[in-house]
Chains A and B, each alone.
Chain A
Amino acid sequence: MSTLDPAGSAARSIANLWWLMLTGAVSLFALVMILFAMVMIRPHWGAKVAPARWIVFGGLCLPAIVLTPLVAYALVTGERLLPGTGADPMRIEAQAAQWKWKFRYPGIDGGETEGVLHLPAGKPVDIVVTSVDVIHAFWIPRLGGKIDAVPGHRNVLRLQADVPGHYQGLCNEFCGIGHSRMRFDVIVHPAAEFSAALAKPDAAGKVPQ
């Protein structure tokens, strides 16, 4: 479940952003605490810096230097994660209901699975997320960020799993008493075997037609 153990491109770029921010945050926190300790322990030390400088350097320059590149970096990262770009990726429909997930794979033999999502490895997929009742959220922490399932709206999330394997997904928006248990399994197949694996009548989670 760990977002820090990414298994997909989106999760990886977000994890990178996190480590970067963590480094920055630790240094800034240390800076503030050291300054606090210094002004308390060494009364004359800080008085050498004029009052206006304290405010201009600490209050204005410091955040400007930190925030401007950070926002730029985060926005660029965000742009790269957007769905709908690149060569027409595969679409999978995820439909949330209290308290289960259904997945449909248009274009692939009319398959529908419940509680299990099948994905191809190494290929971008756009997940179209909807809800039939209250708001839920679709999240596979190791593959990427989350998106809400809002009744009346269709939201799209771009994911790409690196390698075949088993992962966990869950509902991440409070949706009533079944919220804690509204999880689903994710099975990532080698891209070449994906359609075949899904077409099998005994594929995990397959809803009989």
Chain B
Amino acid sequence: MNTTIDDGTHGGSALKLHRQLAEIWATGPGLQRLAAINHSVIGVRFMVTAFVFFAIGGVLGMLTRVQLATPNATFMDAETYNQVFTMHGSIMLFLFAIPMLEGIAVYLTPKMLGTRDFAFPRLTAYGYWCYLFGGTILTTALVAGVAPDSGWFMYTPLSSNVYTPGINADVWLLGVTFVEISALTLAVEIIVSILTMRAPGMSLDRMPIFGWYMLVTALMMVVAFPPLILGSILLETERAFGLPFFDPSRGGDPLLWQHLFWLFGHPDVYIIFLPMAGLLSTMIPVFAGTPLIGYRAIIVAIIGLAFISFGIWVHHMFTVGIPHLALAFFSAGSAIVAVPTSVQLFAWLATLAHGRPIWNVPMLYIFGFFSTFAIGGLTGVMLAMVPFDWQAHDTYFVVAHFHYVIGGSVAFPILAALYYWLPLLTGRTAVYRLAIPAFWLIFVGFNMTFFLMHLAGLLGMPRRIYTYPAVENWTWLNLLSSLGGFIMTIGFALVVIDLIAQVRYGRRVRRDPWKAATLEWAMPIPPSPYAFASLPHIEVRADRIAVGDLAPSLARGEGYLGFVRNGWQETLGVHMTSGMPEQLIVLPRSTYLPLWTALATATAVLCMLFKLYLLSLGMVLVTAALFVLAGQSAGQTRDYGLLPVGRGLSLPPHTETTNPPAWWALAFTLVADGTLFTSLIFGLLYLWISAPNWPPVGRPDTSLAIALASVVVLVVAAISARGALRAVVGSRAPGAWIALSAAALVAAIAGLVVLIGNVIPRPTEHALGATAAAVLGFVVLHAAIGLLFLLSNILRLTFGLVSARRHIDFRLTRLWSDYTAITGALAIGLVLALPALVDLLGMRS
């Protein structure tokens, strides 16, 4: 990297500045597109890919409708049907809904918040590739006829290797976990970016409401995905290595899977819905011509919604035999969760009431949302009532309900948003002639398809049956429902045609065609890769910005960073709450590294799928090495001190601050990791208290000496990590501390491996042994990753990326070691307590 600093003088005319910035930020042509990491590029890729998967999922949905249109149909046999509906559900949720919202977040959030990109562009790209490869694995399996076939919630024992011996279930567990890990990385990135990378002056109370929605959504993702990831890992280890976490004959419990799955599954519905509500809260004020009403009330509502949605997962398990009193918690919770939702609904109505709403195409689709969402919400409250659910559970009533909430309330807002933001994306305005008939076809078709399913369910039609006898009076309902499906499909096809027409032949538009007042319109359209030629200073709530005045001034470089320096991709980091600028963030330039890393990860997953476990382990190590490598190129080889950022302000580069985005990223990653750890502990205690065939035959017995020694060395490792940091800050050599820390970690791993080897009962014999081994394995894994952190420290020292001011890498190591020591002590403590827990079981009634 260039070590001289250009002076930060303003870059002259808007055009000159544009050329200079574009040269630095642009993604190269041709094959270099594979190296793209820019948020606009990746965001669009996410959305387009998600649409493709929507189409695939839609075709599968239509296939189920063809099969069910008539009784005793022979279009598909049971085996094919099971694959088709399982893949339909899995694709719609994991490969369409979540990636779609991620794409929207990646594309829009930085622009709305007035910054040039997300905090970790390479991670965005990695997330995209993982999604693409994971999705490809799943669809390939479908084409090959070995797709998952146990339903999208994969209830075990049906999905265990006894009842689904083939590769089908492994495809789901591995493919979906792969996609989930990508979602998790993106969630962390979204949180950190929203919190630390906004336009200067954008305090939390000035953040556009969409920023709040995305922040809450991403935080939910960080806590919601780990239980499912853990569940999938446990189920895959059960299938591959025979550890009986869910096998009731060996002390496991199939209900544990359901708890872990729905602990993810229910919040997932809100994770999908909240960004949609965020889009609506952004569009509705524009069409009403007045700022959003109830900004603060909505924020309280979505915080409440986020929490409550985690406390109602058991409403998917009302029929598994949990006592009524416990069901009441979740029933009442599922009812009260309607309150924050209706707060939002009435805030939108109030906004419309206090403005002068205009009718246009997005508004038409918003109307579609209002009606489907109202119905979906009302049937949701019905299903929350325990006795009614005892009848309606797993019937077509439920299928109708969730298509109204996740189908209607996602599809309509997305289409509205598409018509609203497409001018930004393409610089062209819609042709519109097709959008309106398309709406009515979708709307009528949707209601015809799904409304009748309520009735079919009440008439006793269970879901997931591949055919039904003619004697039931379900036939006409199903026929009409399938017909509606075709009408809806034609509507979607029209939308696609309309979109293509718009992209190719649409009229060019000028800036801000809707007279909106949010920052994403304060840039040339379509947006340049650097988004803003210079960054604004925000002094009002960011949905009341005079876009027309601001945009030209930003383009002329009159805001912050309206110049280029050292070929750096620069943007600003701000204080979380107040939005005051704190650091100059230098982002990495485009690179193939994310692609290679994702390929390595995909190979690891494929090897796992084909039971080449050693090779898989090797590829995991390659992936880890690539991650460590990526970390190295994100440093600076010298201290810069304060650098001018424009408008008379000077800030340190992020490499020289104590809390750069990377620090927060690790902190939130640890939140996710801590959730996984907690879920694992919950799993152990859950099995202890409610699984059949407990206590096991052999009494658990752990070597106290080795256990305590392991805790001690973990603590030593953490202390030496602190020592290393202190040495670096004091400009002393940290080598000895690093060596001590590494030695301690190796000792800990050795001790823990011995403990795992001696777990009683054997991990394959009883779930007690299996969970104990898993808990200890968790610690081994973290100690091993700790070694990677130390490796990174050494590399950084060698490359000269460390100084008394540039010590972030050591702070990260300290955080990780502390976390490892704490979770390690808890885990080992729990394992030591197992004999006592088992003895307690003797007192059961």
Shortest Cβ gap from B265 to chain A (Å): 15
User: Do A35 and B349 contact each other (CB < 8 Å), given the known contacts A40-B357, A59-B339, A153-B255?
Assistant: yes
Residue in A51, A60, A144 whose Cβ sees the most chain B Cβ within 10 Å:
A51
**Interchain CA distance A59-B302 in the complex, whole Å:** 13
Q: Could you give, for residues 55-88 of chain A, a 1 whenever the CB lies within 8 Å of some chain B CB and a 0 otherwise? A: 1011110111001001100110111011000000
Shortest Cβ gap from A181 to chain B (Å): 9
The stretch of A17-25, A111-119, A185-193, A197-205 in contact with B is: A17-25
- B: which residues have CB within 8 A of A? 78-79, 82, 150-151, 155, 157-158, 163, 248-249, 253-255, 293-294, 297, 301, 319-321, 324, 327-328, 331-332, 335-336, 338-339, 342-347, 349-350, 352-357, 359, 367, 370-371, 374-375, 378-379, 381-382, 385-395, 458-468, 472, 691-693
Q: Which chain A residue lies CB-closest to B378?
A: A25
**Interchain CA distance A17-B382 in the complex, whole Å:** 9
Which 9 A-B pairs give the minimum distances between C-beta atoms? A46-B353, A145-B390, A152-B248, A1-B460, A58-B346, A54-B350, A59-B343, A152-B692, A155-B321
Q: Does A141 contact B (CB under 8 A)?
A: yes
Q: Could you give, for residues 152-174 of chain A, a 1 whenever the CB lies within 8 Å of some chain B CB and a 0 otherwise? A: 11011000000000001011111
Shortest Cβ gap from B342 to chain A (Å): 5
Q: Which residues on B sit within 8 Å (CB–CB) of A151?
A: 157, 248-249, 254
User: Do A67 and B255 contact each other (CB < 8 Å), given the known contacts A146-B390, A172-B393?
Assistant: no
Q: Which residues on A sit within 8 Å (CB–CB) of B692?
A: 152-153
Q: Which chain A residue lies CB-closest to B457?
A: A3
Asked whether, in the complex, the Cβ of B460 is within 8 Å of the Cβ of A148, the reply is no
Residue in A14, A155, A156, A168 whose Cβ sees the most chain B Cβ within 10 Å:
A14
Shortest Cβ gap from B71 to chain A (Å): 11
Could you write out 28 A-B pairs with CB less than 8 Å apart?
A1-B459, A4-B458, A28-B374, A28-B378, A29-B378, A46-B352, A46-B353, A49-B350, A54-B349, A55-B293, A55-B297, A59-B301, A59-B344, A60-B343, A67-B339, A70-B335, A70-B385, A74-B387, A133-B163, A134-B163, A145-B387, A146-B390, A147-B321, A151-B157, A152-B693, A172-B394, A179-B465, A180-B468
User: Do A49 and B464 contact each other (CB < 8 Å), given the known contacts A3-B458, A32-B370?
Assistant: no
Asked whether, in the complex, the Cβ of B255 is within 8 Å of the Cβ of A39, the reply is no
Asked whether, in the complex, the Cβ of B352 is within 8 Å of the Cβ of A51, the reply is no
User: Do A177 and B82 contact each other (CB < 8 Å), given the known contacts A17-B387, A133-B157?
Assistant: yes
**Interchain CA distance A33-B465 in the complex, whole Å:** 35
**Count the A residues whose beta carbon is within 8 Å of the partner chain — how many?**
76
Q: Which residues on B sit within 8 Å (CB–CB) of A177?
A: 78-79, 82
Q: Which residues on A sit within 8 Å (CB–CB) of B301?
A: 59
Shortest Cβ gap from A159 to chain B (Å): 11
Shortest Cβ gap from B17 to chain A (Å): 42
Q: Does A175 contact B (CB under 8 A)?
A: yes
Q: Which residues on A sit within 8 Å (CB–CB) of B345?
A: 32, 58-59
User: Do A58 and B394 contact each other (CB < 8 Å), given the known contacts A4-B459, A35-B349?
Assistant: no
Q: Which residues on B sit within 8 Å (CB–CB) of A135?
A: 155, 157-158, 254
Across the interface, A2 reaches (CB within 8 A) one of B294, B374, B459, namely B459
**Interchain CA distance A36-B280 in the complex, whole Å:** 15
Across the interface, B294 reaches (CB within 8 A) one of A3, A47, A55, A133, namely A55
Q: Which residues on A sit within 8 Å (CB–CB) of B463?
A: 174
**Interchain CA distance A58-B349 in the complex, whole Å:** 10
Q: Does A107 contact B (CB under 8 A)?
A: no
Q: Does A13 contact B (CB under 8 A)?
A: yes
Shortest Cβ gap from A26 to chain B (Å): 9
Q: Does A96 contact B (CB under 8 A)?
A: no
Asked whether, in the complex, the Cβ of B320 is within 8 Å of the Cβ of A148, the reply is yes
Across the interface, A46 reaches (CB within 8 A) one of B163, B332, B350, B375, namely B350
User: Do A25 and B459 contact each other (CB < 8 Å), given the known contacts A47-B354, A54-B350?
Assistant: no
**Interchain CA distance A71-B387 in the complex, whole Å:** 11
Asked whether, in the complex, the Cβ of B158 is within 8 Å of the Cβ of A175, the reply is yes
User: Do A63 and B339 contact each other (CB < 8 Å), given the known contacts A4-B458, A71-B331, A71-B332?
Assistant: yes
Asked whether, in the complex, the Cβ of B353 is within 8 Å of the Cβ of A25, the reply is no
Interface residues of A in 120-146 (CB under 8 A from B): 133-135, 137, 139, 141-142, 144-146
Asked whether, in the complex, the Cβ of A153 is within 8 Å of the Cβ of B321, the reply is yes
User: Do A39 and B319 contact each other (CB < 8 Å), given the known contacts A176-B163, A178-B78?
Assistant: no
Q: Which residues on A sit within 8 Å (CB–CB) of B466?
A: 180
**Interchain CA distance A175-B458 in the complex, whole Å:** 21
Q: Does A150 contact B (CB under 8 A)?
A: yes
Asked whether, in the complex, the Cβ of B465 is within 8 Å of the Cβ of A51, the reply is no
**Interchain CA distance A185-B97 in the complex, whole Å:** 41
